[in-house]
Amino acid sequence: MSNASSHSHQDHPFHLLNPSPWPLMAAIGAFILAYGAVHWFHDRDSTLWMWVGLAAVAATAFLWWRDVVKEARHDHAHTHEVRHGLRMGMVLFIASEVMFFVAFFWAFFHGALMTNPSVTQWPPEGIEPLHTWSLPFINTLILLTSGATVNWAHHGVREGKTNKVVLGLLASVALGGLFLSLQMVEYGEATFKFTEGVYPSVFYMATGFHGFHVFVGVCFLAVCAVRARKGHFTPDHHVGFEAAAWYWHFVDVVWLFLFVWVYWWGNG
């Protein structure tokens, strides 16, 4: 029995998922990617498994998103209760991401507040931190502007204006790409390496993982732009867009914390 016919005969508003291969495929792809990354860390010429894993993860994400869109658009499985569950799932996911970054801030303050007995000054001797009001400040303005364009696109969804939604999302994608480009330039200008102590390790881990989240957010917004162009979002049904917008605002807030505490306060 198909999803549509089973949904029309059920006595509850919830969506019972059919068996799906994508969770297992995602786990296998992530394992191959991690395996390849470890080999790449030890041997820069060994990249085959890393690219295989990355391709597997990307293909799984595309096919999984395709099935979710089909459930919403063709099977009409995303009822009010299902949409509420999806929103709560996204909230819990972002909460877990917050705690992920809390660990890096904890490590940073452990050294910056001199609670680490091996640290006697901050930044440690020999570390020349990046200038606060150069590229980090420019990147802050770029990311805050991207948050404004996402909000603008969100208003377009609520007003049913497709062109406004697409334009706002494309602007956000472009700004996110510019942010990542400038962050790579910033890394090239840094005078310290990852292995040169606690400050470089925490700095690169926190800003690097944030950059990865920006990349994921850019992909998320780009998918939403394509969906918006196809008319998938309506003023009453746009959970996918909401999830992307919430994620992007989370990325903005994390960067504000990084700028204030790592680039500004931490440099003093």
Residue 137's CATH number: 1.20.120.80
Dist. CA 111–CA 123, nearest whole Å = 9
The reply to whether 132 and 161 lie within a common domain is yes
Q: What is the mean pLDDT of residues 195-223?
A: 94
Quote the pLDDT of residue 161. 94
Residue 94 has pLDDT above 70, yes or no: yes
Q: Token pair 């992007």 is at which residue?
A: 248
Confidence of residue 9 (pLDDT cuts 50, 70, 90): low
The reply to whether 98 and 225 lie within a common domain is yes
The reply to whether 73 and 92 lie within a common domain is no
> What predicted TM-score, i.e. pTM, was given to this entire model?
0.88
8 Å CB contact between 104 and 206: yes
Q: Which domain holds residue 214?
A: 86-265
Q: Token pair 């999806």 is at which residue?
A: 86
Q: Token pair 């660990």 is at which residue?
A: 103
Confidence of residue 78 (pLDDT cuts 50, 70, 90): confident
Residue 268 has pLDDT above 80, yes or no: no
Residue 8 has pLDDT above 70, yes or no: no
Quote the pLDDT of residue 83. 87
CATH of the domain at 29: 1.10.287.70
Q: What is the mean pLDDT of residues 229-247?
A: 93
Rg from Cα positions in the chain: 21
* Range name among 57-66, 109-118, 137-146, 242-251 with the lowest pLDDT average: 109-118
Count of other CB atoms within 10 angstroms of residue 176? 26
The reply to whether 69 and 185 lie within a common domain is no
What's the total number of domains in the chain? Answer: 2
